[in-house]
Structure 1
């Protein structure tokens, strides 16, 4: 008998299965209660598990590591039991949900961060940045999850814009871009997702994944161009208000005070 065949026929008691899968026995029992794991065969009063149970447990662990909740795992396993290819489904999921920003996290000490922001780096500011999800405080080190935003923030502070006001603006930007993202996703769902079969075929999933990949740069271009147009409009409007002040003749302090009283 080959090694693969012997492995396929291997049987486990519950403690052996838990050890092989790297999960506690109580977790294994919980999965059984939720029907994530098929019932074992019975040999007298002893529950006997197979290699299939071990593979199922490893798949559950992998899905949990990828951020799935147990409810979602139940749906995937149900699809698997109906003959769907879970690898195919996971490949589609990764293509659709892969991060849009591929920045690597960076770490700095608190002293290094203070060197950028000086006395503006208060505990309240750190807490707010952490709440926004921009940083994570790990002991005496700060992990920057979005390094480019940190660099942009440092540049704005260097120009004289208070750090606290930048963070206040960040909340507004998060909300505004969340609305924009919702609009794009709703559009894609209506015209791409809702036209697929129920359940979608592998070919439909593959086409959707390819469409999403093609639309990623297009979507960013649309957002960038609309933001650029909005900035152009706003700057022109503000500059129009500023022009009279720039072109007004110099006046003496007394004249400026008199003009102020007239207003």
Structure 2
């Protein structure tokens, strides 16, 4: 903790442009380290100011306190991006078909040719979509083709926006930093936050688009004539 500048809790709140009540809440929730207590007065330093400013930025980006605490804890531990996101880093690429697909699907997958036999389902939700399409009457090749088209459309959409979003939310801050190890850890944390926020926003927009179509199908069903029952 830097000793060149010290603040009481009132001074800290004023410098960080927040309130004393917020400082106390952040401390109680584990987001803010304890002050250096001397006598009956707690003294805060520049690290506390930086932490409060970070919390304010994350709150402004729509993060909740629990999520902020997890990210800050990971940052304090020096975790990398994969650790912050909770994503395991594989030791080597997986070369075999994943087990989410049932046996009949894996057999058909191996027989569909090079273009589809190299297709790997790494997301259980994606494999669930394939299974449900097959159960609805799709040929496995057509189900895989549908998912591949969906993946390509998603890739094109993200490729269009990812660079600008990542640079705005994380890259420009690191470019203007001293590139210290702490700056690097902060950069990886900012990348994790950028991914989380952008993914949540994109998912919500896609869900709203699907909801519009669901509403249309539901409305169409209401006007369809009922089948006669003998």
* TM-score calculated relative to the size of structure 1: 0.42
* TM-score calculated relative to the size of structure 2: 0.47
Report 1 or 2 for greater relative contact order, CA contacts < 8 Å, sequence distance ≥ 6. 2
**Higher gyration radius (CA):** 1
More strand by share: 1
